[in-house]
Amino acid sequence: MHKDLQEVLISEDKLQARIKQLGLEISSSYKGRCLTLVGVLKGCVLFLSDLLKNISIDTNVDFIMLSSYSGKQSTGVVRTILDLKQNIEGRDVLIVEDIVDSGLTMSYMLKNMTTRGPRSLEICTMLDKPSCRRVKVPIKYSGFVIPNKFVVGYGLDYNELYRNLPYIGVLKKSVIKVD
Ligand code: 5GP
């Protein structure tokens, strides 16, 4: 375990086993169609790449980068920093996110993607923190429901560190800077 963590919440084995199941479920739901995964950068990268390997139907991938967090606090204001390269009109779109916390980011994403006229639009998140929800969002596929703890690893960062950990962990209080 990384020295800055107080605990490992979800091990690498558990993550990989759940992602395999999600891949099967998604492949079966979209059977006979071509799926467009829209990854929300940067937190989605490890999850999206492992999920993609477990999807057996035709799939294309695009990315969007949003901003609402700095450090550990959400500002509540979501902005698009980098937009999709593809036109998603008429496509079956599955948004791939690292974690749904307040739901503000996903709510923005849903509104933003809907204006582009996809054939279908659903959400797949690796982690779901329902106790922190401020806006209701319809999550179709969820890896794990977790308690109200600030987690890092497997794509999730704290001040741009820890994304490379292959598991999800909880940071020690002493590592978190209070501003
Ligand atoms: P929401 O808009 O749902 O509050 O938050 C979504 C974004 O906030 C996520 O994509 C993620 O980047 C960040 N976030 C929310 N909770 C956590 C957390 O526990 N750990 C980390 N590292 N990021 C989080």
- CATH number, domain 5-26+33-69+76-173: 3.40.50.2020
Neighbour tally for 81: CB within 10 Å: 9
Query: Is 157 in the active site?
Result: no
Residues 31-48: pLDDT tens digits? 999 999 999 999 999 999
Q: At 7, is the pLDDT very low, low, confident or very high (cuts 50, 70, 90)?
A: very high
Amino acid 132: pLDDT: 87
Instruction: Give the Å distance between the CA of 128 and the centre of ligand 1.
Output: 10
Domain ranges of the chain: 5-26+33-69+76-173
Instruction: Give the Å distance between the CA of 31 and the centre of ligand 1.
Output: 31
Structure tokens, 40 = 């929300």
Calpha distance 136→45 (Å, rounded): 24
In the 8-state DSSP scheme, what is residue 2?
-
Residue 100 has pLDDT above 90, yes or no: yes
Pocket of ligand 1 (CB under 6 A): 43, 68-69, 74, 97-106, 150-152, 156-158
In 3-state terms, what secondary structure has residue 104? helix
Amino acid 114: pLDDT: 97
Place of tokens 């779901």: 128
61: left (phi over 0), alpha (psi -120 to 50) or beta: beta
Place of tokens 């940067």: 42
Q: Is the pTM of this model over 0.85?
A: yes
Identify whether the C-beta of residue 149 lies closer than 8 Å to the C-beta of residue 170: yes
Instruction: Give the Å distance between the CA of 149 and the centre of ligand 1.
Output: 11
